Structure 1
Amino acid sequence: MSPPAPRPADRRITGLLLAGGQGSRMGGVDKGLVELAGRPMAAHVLERLAPQVDELIVNANRNLDAWRAFGHPVFSDDIGGFGGPLAGLHAALLHARHPLVATVPCDSPFLPADLVDRLAGALHSAGAQLAVARTFDRLQPVFCLCRRELAGPLADYLHGGGRGVARWHDTLDVVEVSFDDEAAAFRNINTPIELAEAGRSVSLDGTPAITGIQQRNPT
Structure 2
Amino acid sequence: MTIAGVILAGGEGTRMGGLVAKPLTPLGKSTLIERIIPQMQGQVSPLLINAALHNGFERLGLPVVPDMLTGHHGPLAGLSAAAAHLERNFPRITHLLSVAGDTPFLPIDYVSRMCARSGTAVNMASSNGRAHPTAALWPMALLSQLEKYLSQPDAKLQVMAFARRTTIHMVEFQPFADLDPFFNVNTPDDLRNAQRFLPDE
TM-score by length of 1: 0.80
Where structure 1 has 5 or more consecutive residues not aligned to the other structure, the ranges are: 1-10, 207-219
Q: SS of the counterpart of 1:16?
A: strand
Residue 14 in 1 paired to residue 7 in 2?
no
Residue 34 in 1 paired to residue 13 in 2?
no
In structure 1, what residue type is equivalent to 2:197?
Answer: S
Residue 147 in 1 paired to residue 139 in 2?
yes
Distance 1:73 1:187 in 2: 25
TM-score by length of 2: 0.86
Where structure 2 has 5 or more consecutive residues not aligned to the other structure, the ranges are: none
Alignment of 1:1-219 (within 5 A): 11-29=1-19, 30-61=21-52, 63-64=54-55, 66-96=56-86, 97=90, 98-122=93-117, 124=118, 127-160=119-152, 161-180=155-174, 184-204=180-200, 206=201
Distance 2:171 2:111 in 1: 11
In structure 2, what residue type is equivalent to 1:77?
Answer: D
Residue pair 1:50, 1:56 contacting (<8 A) in 2 also: yes
Q: SS of the counterpart of 1:185?
A: coil
Distance 2:82 2:37 in 1: 16
Residue pair 1:58, 1:74 contacting (<8 A) in 2 also: yes
Distance 2:30 2:126 in 1: 29
Residue pair 1:12, 1:99 contacting (<8 A) in 2 also: yes
Q: SS of the counterpart of 1:111?
A: coil
Shift of 1:188: 0.9
Distance 1:144 1:102 in 2: 6
Residue pair 2:53, 2:64 contacting (<8 A) in 1 also: no
Offset from partner CA, 1:141-194 (integer Å, 9 cap, x none): 110001122233111221114311111111122211122356721111111111
Shift of 1:203: 4.8
Return the structure number with greater helix share.
1
| Coordinate RMSD, CA, aligned | 1.9
Shift of 1:109: 0.8
In structure 1, what residue type is equivalent to 2:41?
Answer: A
Offset from partner CA, 1:60-86 (integer Å, 9 cap, x none): 02543x111100111111112242111
Q: SS of the counterpart of 1:52?
A: coil
Q: SS of the counterpart of 1:69?
A: helix
